[in-house]
Amino acid sequence: MNPTDIPLIETRDLKRHFTIRPGALARLLARAKNIVVSAVDGVSLKIWQGETVGLVGESGCGKTTLGRVISRLDIPTAGEIFFKGFSLREGLPSGGDKSTPIERLGFYRVAQVIFQNPYSSLNPRKTIREIIATPLINRGLKDLNEREETIIALLRRVGLHPRNLDQYPHQFSGGQRQRIGIARALAMQPQFIVADEPVSSLDVSIQAQVINLLEELQDEFHLTYLFIAHDLSLIHHISDRVAVMYLGRIAEEGATDDLYAQPLHPYTQALLAAIPSLDKAARRQRIILQGTVPSPINPPSGCRFHPRCFARVGSICENETPPFFEVGKQRVACWKYQ
């Protein structure tokens, strides 16, 4: 098989539903039913080796959940994830890609996560050395000397000084912590990294440092990123391809430049129009969407965007879920492009 034909990561109709069970009595007396939160509701996504896929969407649309399911921190309700064509449900074939896969680590040997909150993603009771040593130990790096060297090299790579090794996370600034988190992820020598809003809690002046670092590392280690953010400018900057999520589903997907130049889905259009811009010329015609993102508990029928949509094509929007339509190189889930 030609390796370029096989995506590094592929999800097929991935779903993650959270069920909230009401008490027995409420069920009995008020006929209360299970509340199902369809956080991720049928996402099919392909990520190829070496690229950065940006995932944007408003708060609560399921970005984090999708990221967690893909990084196996959460179990999908339905659907499957493939790594290089192997279903993760069966587990990675031993000896598959890495020379010594450790069964317990499984997927984490090849995929890692960079978290959103630099303040809570590092254990406050552990020194930097311990934090970075953990994946190394679990990876099987037993030799102390070698481990120490590796830790120092990693730390240097992310732009921190080794003299800080024995300090605790709270002694670092947000940007520095995020670097530590990156070093921890790199320690596993992954191929794939899910980065869930890695800069959104950083000061603007620091954001750029981290983004640049991530870009450098990608080149250096041939990393593949799933980059989650709600900042459209940032996504534009960093991604090769972009997927726009709305209420648990992907609304539109395509190469970054295409998608920004010519947003197809009305939601994408509104999103892009809502970004404030310095450049008066670049300001698009303002589209102010009405209402807020509906709750994923009882998502609207048909196209999930239809209650807020300004470009409805008819009752089909309300009744039937739009499939993906290929428009040029973009894929868009909107009946308009039927």
Partner 1 sequence: MTAHAPTRVARGWDYSFRIRLRLWWRALAELGYELWQRPVVLLGGIVVAAFILAAVFAAQITIHDPTRGTLLLRFEPPAWEAEGNWKYPLGTDDQGRDLLTRIIYGTRVSLAVGLLSVAISVIVGTALGAFAGYYRGWLDEILSRFADLLLAFPFLIFAIGVMAFLGPGFVNLVMALAFKGWVEFFRLVRGEVLGERTKEYVDGARVAGQSNLAIIVSEILPNVIQSVFVLGTLRLGYMIIMEASLSFLGLGIQPPTPAWGSMVASGRDYLLVAWWVSTFPGLAILLLVVAINIFGEGLRDILDPRLKIE
Partner 2 sequence: MTNTPLLELKNLTTVFPTRRGLVRAVADVSLSLAQGELLGIVGESGCGKSVTMLSILRLISTPGRIAAGQALFQGRDLLKLSDGAMRQIRGKDIAMVFQDPLSTLNPAFPVGEQIRESLRIHHIAQNHFAREKERVIELMSEVGISSPTDRFHEYPHQFSGGMQQRALIAIALACEPKILLADEPTTSLDVTIQAQIMDLMRRINEARGTAIVLVTHNLDLAAEFCQRIAVMYAGRLVEIGTTDQVIETPQHPYTRGLLTCIPRISAQRTRIEPIPGNVPDLANVPPGCAFAERCSEMQPICQNDLIPFFEIAPGHLVRCLRHSSATPD
Partner 3 sequence: MKAIKILERVLTTIPIMFGVAIIVFFFIRLTPGDPVDIMLGRSAAASQREIEQLRHQFHLDEPLHVQLGYFLGDALRGNLGYSYIRNKPVVDLLVERLPATIEMTIGALLISLIIALPIGILSAVRQNSLLDRLSMAGAFLGISMPGFWLGIVLILFFAVYLQILPAQGRISYDVELQEVTGLYVLDSLLTGNLPALKDSLLHLLLPSITLGAGVAAIIARVLRSSMLEVLRSDYVKLARAKGATEWDVVMKHALRNALIPTVTVVGLQVGVLLGGNMIVETVFSWPGLGRLVVDAIFNRDFPLIQGAVMIYAITFVLTNLVVDILYTYLNPKITL
Chain contacts with Mg ion (rule: CB under 5 A): 64
C-alpha distances out from residue 134 to 115, 129, 130, 150, Å: 17, 9, 6, 12
The least CB distance from residue 56 to partner 1, in Å, is 21
Footprint on this chain of partner 3 (rule: CB under 8 A)? 23-26, 29-30, 32
- Please name which of 274, 294, 292 lies closest in space to residue 284, comparing C-alpha atoms: 274
Whole-number Å distance between alpha carbons of 44 and 10: 7
Binding to partner 1 by residue 120, rule CB under 8 A? yes
Residues within window 283-302 making contact with ligand ATP, judged by CB under 6 A: 296
Whole-number Å distance between alpha carbons of 332 and 338: 10
Selected from 292, 298, 301, 315, the binder of partner 2 by CB under 8 A is 292
Of 34 and 315, the one with the shorter C-beta distance to partner 3 is 34
Segment (H or E) for 45: strand 35-47
The least CB distance from residue 242 to Mg ion, in Å, is 17
> Which range in 56-64, 84-92, 254-262, 273-281 contacts ligand ATP by CB under 6 A?
56-64
Selected from 2, 4, 31, 59, the binder of ligand ATP by CB under 6 A is 59
Pairing of strands 241-246, 35-47: unpaired
Query: DSSP secondary-structure letter at 197?
Result: S
Binding to partner 2 by residue 330, rule CB under 8 A? no
Amino acid, single-letter form, for residue 60: G
Binding to partner 1 by residue 102, rule CB under 8 A? yes
Token pair listed for 76? 């999908």
Q: Give which of partner 1, ligand ATP, partner 3, none residue 113 binds (C-beta under 5 to 8 Å, depending on kind).
A: partner 1
Contact 299, 247 (CB under 8 A): yes
C-alpha distances out from residue 248 to 113, 192, 251, 308, Å: 20, 22, 9, 16
Contact 134, 184 (CB under 8 A): yes
Binding to partner 1 by residue 92, rule CB under 8 A? no
Of 207 and 269, the one with the shorter C-beta distance to Mg ion is 207
The least CB distance from residue 309 to partner 2, in Å, is 12
- Burial string for 277-287 (b: 16+ CB within 10 Å, else e) reads eeeeeeeeeee
The least CB distance from residue 137 to partner 1, in Å, is 8
Q: Give which of Mg ion, partner 2, partner 1, none residue 192 binds (C-beta under 5 to 8 Å, depending on kind).
A: none
Binding to partner 2 by residue 260, rule CB under 8 A? yes
The least CB distance from residue 223 to Mg ion, in Å, is 21
Whole-number Å distance between alpha carbons of 312 and 133: 54
Binding to partner 1 by residue 135, rule CB under 8 A? yes
Binding to ligand ATP by residue 249, rule CB under 6 A? no
167 exposure class (CB count in 10 Å sphere: 0-12, 13-18, 19+): middle
Site residues (vs ligand ATP, CB under 6 A) = 18, 37, 39, 57, 59-65, 230, 296
Site residues (vs partner 2, CB under 8 A) = 58-59, 173, 175, 203-209, 211-212, 230, 232-234, 236-238, 260-261, 270-279, 282-283, 286, 288-289, 292-293
